[in-house]
A and B are shown apart, each in its own frame.
Chain A
Amino acid sequence: MNTATAQEYLIAVALVLVAASATAAALARDPVRQAVLLAVLGLCLTVLFTLLQAPDVALSQLAVGTAVTPLLILLTVRKVRRATASHHDRDKRGPEGTDES
């Protein structure tokens, strides 16, 4: 098997990985799981871009898609969950608890 064919097979594998991880990210319901799957998708895209000889794009994808975007999503989820949790606490406290707000 010569190098060109091997490379095309590798690109095909990377494309399948991208499609699989993107589908998994779209099908996940939990935002935390989605953020992690998004990071995996970013990693697969990085491999694909590297195989397609686009190292500049691969570096951007690795830094933004795998690190920064999932981190922003996780921080947002943490903030939102804590806000709703405190609301639930207030509701559980009953009518006296709701007076103070």
Chain B
Amino acid sequence: MSRSARIRLFWAAAVVFAVVYTLACTGLPHFGTTVHPYGSRAVAASLRQRTANVVSSINFDQRALDTLGEESILFASVLGTTALLRHARDERVGRPRAGRVLPSTRLLGLVMVPLTLLTGVYIVAHGQLSPGGGFQGGVILATGLHMVYVAADYLVLKRIRPLGVLDVADACGAGAFVALGFAGLIAGAAFLQNVLPLGTFGEISSGGLVPLLNAAVGIEVGSGIIVLLASFLDQAVEVRSETDSGSGERT
């Protein structure tokens, strides 16, 4: 198809889409109304389950099965990426050379890495009380670890990153979610039903199953993203094809 025909097709489709979309939008409820049918029911249910963070209550209690599907997607994509980016026969691994870092960058990293990791753990642990939870905290933990790569170099990152352990932790976190779901079946209720004692509203031990599921997701997401970034970093920094010369690149 020629360029002008393609552009004409685009504009025809864009006009149709704009008209139908505008028509559809006129039927929507107004922006920021006071009546929220789903919201008020969800808030009432999460108060009943003594979970202060309503979003966590929806994600890990009222609709925990949806979250199981989402975290399985992440697990499967990490698995697929590691399988795709594994070392092929015509690739060689060069040892990356040590990089030079400014002392001020190193100092900032030394201060920020523990702070970021602590923030990550806090956000995972307080998912049932304040905004955040397993997913957000897990991503913060994973990205916090990679500040070492910025503040030091790839060799240091490799030394403090136990990839074998994290591979297993990723699978265990994904499995623990399903196992916690079966706890409901064993107790004589439905799969993923919140059967644990609910505790006191606003305490860290409240919400029954919610903090445990958050911890499982936190472990799975944190280690999963580290493994994912590790296979990408491996390809970008270390692996070179046979035709390449030289032994690794400065990190």
A residues in contact (CB < 8 Å) with B: 8, 55-56, 58-60, 63-64, 67-68, 71-72, 75-76, 78-79, 82-83, 86-87, 90, 100-101
Q: Are A75 and B233 in contact (CB under 8 A)?
A: yes
- Chain A residues closer than 8 Å to B233, beta-carbon distance: 75
Roughly how many angstroms separate A9 CA and B154 CA in the complex, as a whole number? Answer: 45
Q: How many inter-chain contacts with C-beta < 8 Å in the A-B complex?
A: 58
User: How many whole Å from B101's CB to the nearest CB in chain A?
Assistant: 18
Residues A56 and B139 in contact in the complex (CB < 8 Å), given A75-B235, A101-B243: no
For residue B241, CB closer than 8 A to chain A, the reply is yes
Please report whether the interface of chain A is mostly helix, strand, loop or mixed according to DSSP.
helix
- List 21 A-B pairs, Cβ < 8 Å: A55-B131, A55-B132, A56-B55, A56-B133, A59-B131, A59-B132, A60-B139, A63-B139, A63-B140, A68-B139, A68-B143, A71-B229, A71-B232, A75-B229, A75-B233, A76-B232, A79-B235, A82-B244, A86-B240, A86-B241, A86-B244
User: How many whole Å from B9's CB to the nearest CB in chain A?
Assistant: 18
Of listed B136, B140, B229, B241, residue having the most chain A CB within 10 A: B136
Roughly how many angstroms separate A75 CA and B239 CA in the complex, as a whole number? Answer: 12
Q: Are B135 and A60 in contact (CB under 8 A)?
A: yes
B contacts with A, residue count (CB < 8 A):
26
- A-B residue pairs, 10 tightest by C-beta: A55-B131, A63-B139, A59-B136, A75-B236, A75-B232, A56-B55, A78-B236, A79-B236, A67-B143, A56-B131
- Chain A residues closer than 8 Å to B235, beta-carbon distance: 75, 79
Q: Are B244 and A56 in contact (CB under 8 A)?
A: no
